[in-house]
Amino acid sequence: MSKYQGHCACGAVTYGFDDAPSFVANCHCTDCKRASGGEMATFALVSESDFTVKGETRSFPYPKNTETCAGNGLDRVFCVTCGSRVYTNNLADFPGGVFVQEGSLDGLDQWLPPQVEIFTWSRRPWMPALPVPQYDHGVPATADA
């Protein structure tokens, strides 16, 4: 049994990983708004080699878009039964990484606080910033995150 576990809304898709996420971000981009229905989405980065998933999923590919976290392209993965967006993979900008939707983790106590906020250029004015580094687009390659 993995240390961290999560599932979609209906439970048909489950996943797990053992290592604590290396990076947690709130993304305020317009893709995340549209796909999540909220002002932003919270992601936790885990290694593809540590990530196991069960159940039938489908992927929707997002083409290159440097104004959103799609960056140079990625796939957003959802449950075919309930449509919950569960994780993002095949990121051109993060080879070997899987970005888990924090909201799909089994336990609220497994949520880790965001270390950065990204794509703040499209954050709505009524959403206050957290006291963490803010990036109007993605995290610069030189940033220590």
* Contacts to Zn ion by CB under 5 A: 8, 10, 12, 27, 29, 32, 69, 79, 81-82
> CA triplet 117, 99, 121: central angle to 5 degrees?
25
Question: Cβ of residue 70: shortest distance to Zn ion, in angstroms?
Answer: 7
Please answer whether residues 74 and 91 qualify as being in contact, where contact means their C-beta atoms are separated by less than 8 angstroms: yes
Question: Cβ of residue 117: shortest distance to Zn ion, in angstroms?
Answer: 11
- For the beta sheet containing 14-17, the strands, ordered from the edge strand earlier in sequence to the opposite edge, are 4-7, 14-17, 52-54
Helical segments of 16-68, H only: 30-36
State which residue, 17 or 77, has the beta carbon closest to Zn ion: 77
Question: Cβ of residue 92: shortest distance to Zn ion, in angstroms?
Answer: 14
Question: Cβ of residue 96: shortest distance to Zn ion, in angstroms?
Answer: 19
